[in-house]
Structures are given as structure tokens and as C-alpha cells.
Structure 1
Amino acid sequence: MLIGFNKPFGVVCQFSGQTADTTLADYISLPGVYPAGRLDKDSEGLILLTDDGRLQNRISDPAFKLPKIYQVQVEGEPDAAALQQIQQGIELKDGLSAPAEAARIPEPPALWPRQPPVRHRASIPTAWLALTLREGRNRQVRRMTAAVGYPTLRLIRYAIGPWSLDGLQPGQWREIEQPWPSLQQYCESHDISAPPDRRRGHRTKRPLSDGRGRRRGPDRP
């Protein structure tokens, strides 16, 4: 099983948390599904959850280079030089980021209001960017835009590989039918070659992460 969930702002991307936390358990009651990758509490957008450990690994492991598309509102109006820095890779505290796709876009259509609203400074304009990353460092998008002088105000993950937010409002989820054929066709059409599956032949449903606070990598832009 694979489901897509539009995570609202303020939701912790696990099934348990501190007493006051809103978690995935407040929206999803399906047994045995766990996140394939994370989003920070203050980020919004697409989370994929599955009960298939091999599929979870294929989606979340940066070694497979599955692209993730983010819609990012930043403070200020990035120029071509700033976008070029992101495209070429930026030196962060944990090393040089991989090249990314970056472009100015209009404000996304039919964008839902965030609760609480983004705080704007009246004297400073804002802009929207589309960023495509193929790695998953902790708070990477926010660190990259800050490094070129344009702090992130709002961050929405729009797509992971062949799957997107289209048709999902915040807090809504839907089951994705036949995820493996969709993923294989996407990778073939986008010339994405996967490294050998280290778990080849292992088809257990046991997840690689327990989804309740422990996992192998950050993947939390």
C-alpha cells in the first residue's frame, strides 16, 4: 500500500510525539503504514506513507536520486545570480550541496491559506521559487535559500517522483494504486538509474523506519 498525504503546517511527521503535538496519527488511522521520508513541523505538503519496506527505501533513500519538487516562498526577490548558485551547489556546514533545479514561478494557483499566516515585512517583497532536489539533508531548502540571502518564509513539497499534491487539500490523503509500475515508468522516462537494491529479493512488509521518531536519514527540508 502507498498513500499520499498533504501534511499541514505544524504537524509532526511521525505517529507519536509530545503531549501537545499534532501528529500523523491525528489524520491517518491505517495500521502498519510509515513515512517514506519526512518534512519538518513547519513545512507543508506531500508525504508518502507505505507498509512496504522495499518501497519505503526506494522512495526515501537519497542514493536513488528520486527528485522532490518544492514550492518555496522567500523573503526578497532572488536574481539570476542567486538562482545560479543554487543550481550549481552551495557550500553548507555539512558540505557542498548537489546541483539543484531552481526557477522563479508565480504564486501557486489555488494555494490554501496557511495557519498561522506567514509573517511578512511590509517593506520587503516576497517571491516564489520552484526547487528540485535529489538529496535529503536536514532543513536543506531553508539553508540553501538563506545561504544566497533569501530566507524561506513558506515551504511546500509539491511532488516526489511521479506523485504530486494535485487534488489533495491540507489534512487529506488518498491511496495510490499500483505504485511500483508508476515508479518504474517514471524512472525510465526520466533516465533515472537506480543503484542495486541492497535488499534484493527481500519483500517483507516490515518498514525500514518505525515512523515513530526513529529513522535512518534526515530528508527533512
Structure 2
Amino acid sequence: MSAHQHFIIYKPYGYLSQFIYELKRPKKLLGELYDFPENTMAIGRLDEDSEGLLLLTTDGMMSEIVRSKKVDKEYYVQVDGLITDTAIEELKNGVLIGFNGKKYLTRKCQAHRLEEEPQFPQRAKKIRDERHGPTSWLSITINEGKFRQVRKMTSAVGFPTLRLVRVRVGEVHLNNLDAGEVVEVEGFCV
């Protein structure tokens, strides 16, 4: 039996975190970026509008470990407006979001304002510019992953997400990967 293979990728904006899409509307899929081996799976997901670090593996057990609540996931988030200290404190303490038709209180998390705009590759679809009002960036680190959770969290405190980039999963960092770049690694130290 062959050893498992592991990959890190900068998932670009506009791609789905999957290899097969059976609905009629055409979508961009991960398999278009690299010739992954059979049975490769994404560990967790980033929605079509999100980008950044995505781990892939042929090892189902590794997927379970990384998706557990023991592993932090850090996101850099550009929000509409100049985020306030009060909103950041609310995020840290947990906010009510909608999930599966019910209200859900997010777990406590780490959140802070980024003093400088992070340098990411240009996005395929332009985000509105400063003529439409100011924006700000923050870091949010969570260890859970409800559907579109970070977007719902920033919206709940009055600052809708404009751009969301996952920069870290456990001890694995996005570093300086370009959008769409794939790197095969020996394993994950999460």
C-alpha cells in the first residue's frame, strides 16, 4: 500500500473546495489547478467567495484530526467600515449567528485589528474601492467551522465581510504562496 500524500494550496477566489460538482451551472474546481492523486480530499472547506490556505490529503484520519476543535484556523478578514474595539470584543466573546435555521452562539475566539493591510495576490473579482467608504482588516482565529461562520460573525457585529483569506491551520501557514499554487508536503504538523 502506498503512503498517503498531503498538499497545501492557496485556494483562489471563485473556486469550490471540491473535485466534483454535479449541478448544471459550471464551476471552477480544485482539480483544474493541479493533477491530484485519486482519493484526494480537502480538509475542511472554503466557500467559493473565500480564499487562502486549504489542506488536502489522501489520509481520512488526518482530515478528522485537522477538522477537530483542537486545531485553530486563522483568517484575515477585510470588513466594510472601520471596525471598533467594541465589535472586536463582541467577536472575542462569541456572537449569535444563524445556523441550520436556529440561533447559534459562537465559541470564544481570538480577534484583533491588523494595523497594516496584508499583502495578498490580486483577486480575480475586484473588491469595491475606498471611494465607497473605508475598510479595515482584522485577524480572527476560531477552532470551530460552521457554514460561513466568520462572515456571519462580522456581520453580526455590524461589519460585513468583503474579503476572507484563511492564513493558518494549526501550525501550517499560507506564507507566500500565490493564488492557485499547490505544494506537496511530507505531512502536516498541526
TM-score (norm 1): 0.77
Q: Tell me, yes or no, if structure 1 residue 4 matches structure 2 residue 3.
A: no
Residues in 2 aligned to 1:167 and 1:87: alpha-carbon distance in whole angstroms: 28
1:38 pairs with 2:38: no
- Counterpart residue identity of residue 56, structure 2: L
Counterparts of 2:187 and 2:40 in 1: how far apart (Å)? Answer: 16
What secondary structure does 1:122 align onto?
helix
Letter in 2 for 1:145: T
Aligned to 1:144: 153
What amino acid does structure 2 have at the position aligned with 1:16?
A: I
User: Which residues in structure 2 correspond to 1:112-127 (within 5 Å)?
Assistant: 112-120=121-129, 122-127=131-136
Instruction: Say whether 1:24 aligns with 2:33.
Output: no
What's the counterpart of residue 188 of structure 1?
A: none
* Alignment-mate amino acid for residue 157 of structure 1: R
TM-superposed deviation, 1:121: 6.0
CA-atom RMSD in angstroms: 1.3
Structure 2, unaligned stretches of length 5 or more? Answer: none
Specify whether residues 173 and 113 from structure 1 end up closer, same or farther in structure 2 by C-alpha distance, changes over 3 A only.
same
TM-score (norm: length of structure 2): 0.89
Distance 1:112 1:170 in 2: 6
Separation in 2 of the partners of 1:38 and 1:84? 26
Deviation of the 1:119 alpha carbon: 2.0
Question: Following TM superposition, by how much is the alpha carbon of 1:178 offset from its aligned partner in structure 2, in angstroms?
Answer: 3.7
Matches within 5 A, 1:1-221: 1-17=5-21, 18=23, 20-31=26-37, 32-62=39-69, 65-93=70-98, 94-105=103-114, 106-109=116-119, 111-120=120-129, 122-179=131-188, 182-183=189-190
| Percent pairwise identity | 37
The size of the alignment, in residue pairs, is 178
| Structure 1 gaps, min length 5 | 184-221
Letter in 1 for 2:140: L
Residues 118-173 of structure 1: CA deviation (Å, up to 9, x unaligned): 12462420000011011000000110001111000000000100101113100001
The answer to which structure has the higher strand fraction is 2
